[in-house]
């Protein structure tokens, strides 16, 4: 019994020390941090996990429930784990740090809003942010009767050019989190990153283009 009590006391002391270290770590990281200032040139990895696609057969308006996954590096958010009880990562509100200003360029409703969720920050400055968001877009009818409708998403930064945010992507995930209760399924997704110079600005901007079919679940 004494050994058990001693073990509990050791665990409690260890947890208390880790909590204090985490508090000190956050204080040190955020002491001079300004979320309004970007982290400078960085690689931005963006991937999309589809959860549900709902289609109006009359208007061909597609409502998409997805999780966006962003990963980038912020050199201001680095630390030496040995100075903070070995802490390798922390979870911190994303609205209190810089996050990319990505927009759905072909949105057909009010600007999409991303859930206020925590970001995971690694000791080496890697930041992972996975907000949930709802897209609203229009699709095109298939060429033949009974074909899937053809849908497209274009996502990109509103103000950061391709020289500042070097956009990379992964394949569209339509299976791991997709809800069985959704009446529609996604087929033949194609993902590509394209860079374009717009009339407004001299620098090129990168966008993620996702093209896929949507048909009623059999």
Q: pLDDT tens across 104-121, in order?
A: 999 987 667 788 899 999
Q: Examine residue 190 and state whether it is found in any structural domain, yes or no.
A: yes
List the CATH number of the domain containing 197.
2.70.170.10
User: What mean pLDDT is reported for the chain?
Assistant: 87
Domain of 117 in residue numbering reads as 35-216
- The yes-or-no verdict on residue 6 having pLDDT over 50 is no
Which ranges of the chain does DSSP label H, i.e. alpha helix?
2-30
pLDDT score, position 101: 94
CA distances (Å), origin 142, targets 146, 149, 163, 212: 8, 5, 37, 11
Q: Examine residue 17 and state whether it is found in any structural domain, yes or no.
A: no
The count of domains in the chain is 1
Residue 188 to residue 186: CA distance in whole angstroms: 7
pLDDT tens-place string over residues 14-61: 444 457 789 999 999 999 999 999 999 999 999 999 999 999 988 999
Residue 45 pairs in a beta bridge with 71, 168
Q: Examine residue 9 and state whether it is found in any structural domain, yes or no.
A: no
Q: Examine residue 119 and state whether it is found in any structural domain, yes or no.
A: yes
pLDDT score, position 20: 77
Beta-sheet strands, E only, within 21-84: 42-55, 61-73
pLDDT score, position 169: 85
Q: Examine residue 117 and state whether it is found in any structural domain, yes or no.
A: yes
Given a contact cutoff of 8 angstroms between Cβ atoms, the answer to whether 121 and 177 are in contact is no
H/E element holding 127?
A: strand 126-129
Say which range, 29-43, 73-87, 148-162, 189-203, has the weakest mean pLDDT: 189-203
pLDDT score, position 203: 87
Q: Examine residue 209 and state whether it is found in any structural domain, yes or no.
A: yes
pLDDT score, position 200: 81
* Greatest CA separation for the chain: 77
Q: Examine residue 12 and state whether it is found in any structural domain, yes or no.
A: no
In Å, how far from its chain's centre is CA 150?
24
In Å, how far from its chain's centre is CA 201?
26
- The yes-or-no verdict on residue 129 having pLDDT over 80 is yes
- The yes-or-no verdict on residue 76 having pLDDT over 50 is yes
Residue 196 to residue 102: CA distance in whole angstroms: 16
Q: Examine residue 205 and state whether it is found in any structural domain, yes or no.
A: yes
Residues 6+ apart with CB under 8 A from 47: 68, 69, 169, 170, 171, 172, 173
Mean pLDDT over residues 200-204, rounded? 85
pLDDT score, position 13: 39
Residue 179 pairs in a beta bridge with none
């Amino acid at each position: 019994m004494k050994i058990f009590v001693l073990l509990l006391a050791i665990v409690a002391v260890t947890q208390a020390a880790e909590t204090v270290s985490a508090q000190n770590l956050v204080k040190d990281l955020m002491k001079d941090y300004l979320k309004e200032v970007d982290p400078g040139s960085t690689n931005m990895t963006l991937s999309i996990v589809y959860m549900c696609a709902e289609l109006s057969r009359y208007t061909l308006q597609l409502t998409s429930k997805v999780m966006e996954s962003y990963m980038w590096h912020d050199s201001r958010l680095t630390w030496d784990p040995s100075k903070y009880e070995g802490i390798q990562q922390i979870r911190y509100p994303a609205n209190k740090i810089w996050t990319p200003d990505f927009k759905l360029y072909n949105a057909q409703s009010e600007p999409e809003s991303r859930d206020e969720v925590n970001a995971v920050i690694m000791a080496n400055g890697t930041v992972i942010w996975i907000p949930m968001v709802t897209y609203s877009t229009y699709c095109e009818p298939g060429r033949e009767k009974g074909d899937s409708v053809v849908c497209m998403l274009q996502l990109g930064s509103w103000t950061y050019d391709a020289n500042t945010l070097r956009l990379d992507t992964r394949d569209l995930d339509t299976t791991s989190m997709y809800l069985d209760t959704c009446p529609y399924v996604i087929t033949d997704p194609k993902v590509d990153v394209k860079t374009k110079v717009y009339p407004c600005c001299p620098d090129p901007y990168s966008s993620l283009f996702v093209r896929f079919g949507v048909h009623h679940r059999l």
